A and B are shown apart, each in its own frame.
Chain A
Amino acid sequence: MNVVLAPPPHARTYRYDAIDREFLDERIAEFTAQIERRLRGELTEDEFKPLRLMNGLYLQLHAYMYRIAIPYGVLNATQLRQLAMIARRWDRGFGHFTTRQNIQFNWTKLEDVPAMARALADVDMHAIQTSGNCIRNTTTDEYAGADPDEVVDPRIYAEIIRQWSTLHPEFNWLPRKFKIAITGAAQDRVAMQVHDVGLVARRDAAGAIGFEVWAGGGLGRTPLLATKLRDWVAEDALLAYLEAVLRVYNAEGDRANIYRARIKILVRDQGEAYRDKVEAEFARLDKTRYRLDPEVVAEIAQHFAPPPFASLPDIALPTDPDFAAWARRSVRRHRQPGYASVTISLKPIGGIPGDATAAQMEAVAALAERHSFGEIRVTHAQNLVLPHVRQEDLLAVFHGLKAAGLATPNLGLISDIIACPGMDYCALATARSIPVAQMISERFASLEAQYDLGELFLNISGCINACGHHHVGHIGILGVDKRGAESYQITLGGSATEDAAIGELVGPGFPYDQVTDAVETIIRTHLAHRAPGERFIDTYRRIGLAPFKEALYGIA
């Protein structure tokens, strides 16, 4: 085993204590024994499958896939370096960052999993609850602790929810998987309204922290936006209220029909009755037992205390054209004067969205150590973030990223595509996603044209399960199987932010070799109709579906 260096001293990640490590050691020993029994033929696949899924191990099209939890998308440099080591030693030298802020290894061998799990545990990581009908990784804002508009640091509550939900005895066998997202900023960067539960952390007039609670959002076969359950749940009642939300779902969710099993169906069908049941359960719960103790909050908050920022003034950035083009898309204002957040595009033109090689992970880890207090974030749009970079270091960071092939200045543009692994890897997929993303990225490769087009989110899923969030892309593409051939349906007008919306289907699907042309037709239609400065989504909302339909199919 390689020697793992201590995490960078100022990286604000949750540090395991002795209890966490003991639990993880026991769990690895248990799963290792289960794998050994499976390899000896003492467990059948039917017996083994639920066990491996609870430990994040899927069997995909070409190999096992190991999905590693990155709690709320927060990593330190040591952890990222260890992921690179795992990729190089036991996989094919790369990893795939997902829309759940996790990472997947696509070429895992069952016999290697015990060693991989131990290597993860060495850096306080694991793959537990990244599959199965349990509460999955809670996702949050990639700029937490750095965003100038942040009201409450959501990492603290995401960690509390992680601890509460890990091996929660009542919620480990829910009707279906359960995904929570939390934001503490004015702008929704977590797609809160398309999660099973969405939380918005706020402060009241006196500065006390509480939560707006939404439930019943989700994509997949039945895309639905969440319903607001409560404007305010006080901090100390957060876990009690979540218990009530989950308990009613656990009791009344449809376990007989997998397509009706998510909480969104229950919330949609029961409406006010669901809310009333949650309130009744909440009223009934022993508030002392479920009280979130402020001392616990304070203890966890220490893990996420601001790093030791220097007192620095804001400075004028270099005017070098390459740097300036990159900085325009990739550098973001920070709450601390003299600092900035850097978003790293994992979407090189023609590349695989969300993929990073081991060498790239190591390069980012080194830059994080040198320039960002050792911290890295994973975004739900499958990019990375260095949250706290001195403005005076931005040029050096740019050169470091450029050397690693990570300086494509396309964030928020049409080539910053969210895409699931699709049929190239996924056993559930009905069509490929990655090569469609690559074709579109190459078609719109000109950065000047992309800048002119402005903000545009294009999302691709390779099946109706919608891991690529196609419903909430400004342009969404869904790959389906049409009599044995790939066909791509296009939706327009989706959004995953404060103005969340489910995209509308524009018409019949397009074959694989025509879908890029169809996207170009949509873009040309937008350009022909847009008002000065208008984004694609604004044009769409103003003119509606008809002009796009007409351009694509010759009918209004």
Chain B
Amino acid sequence: MSTPAKVRPVTAPTVFTANRLRDGRVVWLAAGDAWVEEISAAAVFAPEEAEAGLARAKRGEAQQLVVGVYGVEVSIQAGKPVPTRFREQLRMRGPSVDAEPAEYRLAS
């Protein structure tokens, strides 16, 4: 159902995200082209650097490490990037509802 988002100029600091190929988990592009689970470790690109950042992120797709790379606009709060869109905040934090029953938490 998804359609490509309209390309609009990047006007805010941007981080790059994707889902990790082997387990689908949300990951963020960090320094050294590593993909990390914590957005706090993500590389933040100024608007004028976003195109170069996207090219770096796409290398992760080409290397079959990640799936579905795209940029996420962020604001910097207490020195850490925080997505401006609610959807990306949910991806950053995980579901807003209980995502595992207590018995599973105790067992794992």
Contacts and interface: CB of A to CB of B under 8 A. Distances in A.
Interface stretch (A12-20, A88-96, A502-510): A88-96
A258 B1 contact: yes
Given A92-B99, A428-B2, A62 B91 contact: yes
Nearest to A351: B98
Chain A CB within 10 Å — which of B24, B64, B87, B98 has the most? B24
Contact of A358 (B26, B63, B103): B103
Interface residues on A, range: 35 or more
B101 A357 contact: yes
B96 interface: yes
Chain B CB within 10 Å — which of A41, A63, A88, A425 has the most? A63
B97 interface: yes
Contacts of A526: none
Contact of A93 (B84, B94, B101): B101
Interface stretch (A224-232, A389-397, A430-438): A430-438
Contacts, number: 98
Contacts of A41: 63-64
A109 interface: yes
A92 B105 CA distance: 8
Interface string A46-80: 00000000000001111110000000000000000
Contact of B68 (A45, A93, A107, A432): A45
A293 to B, nearest CB: 39
A424 B99 CA distance: 9
A425 B84 contact: no
Contacts of B95: 62, 424-425, 434
Interface in B63-105: 63-64, 67-68, 84-87, 90-91, 94-101, 103-104
B21 interface: yes
Contacts of A425: 95
A195 B85 CA distance: 34
A93 B64 contact: no
Interface string A20-52: 000000000000000000111100110000000
Given A62-B91, A423-B90, A88 B104 contact: yes
A40 B64 CA distance: 8
Nearest to B101: A357
A363 to B, nearest CB: 12
A107 B19 CA distance: 12
A94 B23 contact: no
A480 interface: no
A108 interface: yes
A63 B27 CA distance: 11
A359 B24 contact: no
B98 A352 contact: yes
A419 to B, nearest CB: 11
A305 to B, nearest CB: 37
User: Interface of chain A, helix or strand or loop or mixed?
Assistant: mixed
B107 interface: yes
Nearest to B61: A45
Contacts of B3: 258
A93 B23 contact: no
Interface residues of B, number: 32
A435 B98 CA distance: 10
A427 B2 contact: yes
B19 to A, nearest CB: 6
Contacts of B68: 45, 59
A539 interface: no
B23 A357 contact: no
A441 to B, nearest CB: 12
Contacts of A59: 19, 24, 67-68
B1 A94 contact: no
B6 interface: no
Chain B CB within 10 Å — which of A88, A93, A428, A435 has the most? A93
B86 A484 contact: yes
B59 interface: no
A94 to B, nearest CB: 5
A64 B94 contact: no
B86 A465 contact: no
Nearest to B65: A41
Interface of B: 1-3, 19, 21-26, 61, 63-64, 67-68, 84-87, 90-91, 94-101, 103-104, 107
Interface of A: 38-41, 44-45, 59-64, 88, 92-94, 106-111, 258, 352, 357-359, 423-425, 427-428, 432, 434-435, 438, 465, 481, 484-486
28 contacts: A39-B21, A39-B64, A45-B61, A59-B68, A60-B24, A61-B87, A62-B24, A62-B25, A63-B23, A64-B24, A92-B99, A92-B104, A93-B104, A107-B99, A109-B22, A110-B22, A352-B97, A352-B98, A357-B101, A357-B104, A358-B104, A359-B103, A423-B90, A427-B2, A434-B97, A465-B1, A484-B85, A485-B86
Which 6 pairs, one residue from A and one from B, show the smallest C-beta to C-beta distance?
A: A93-B104, A41-B64, A109-B23, A424-B95, A64-B24, A63-B24
Given A258-B3, A485-B86, 18 more contacts: A39-B64, A40-B64, A45-B61, A88-B107, A93-B100, A93-B101, A93-B103, A94-B101, A106-B99, A359-B101, A359-B103, A427-B2, A428-B2, A432-B96, A434-B95, A434-B97, A481-B87, A484-B85
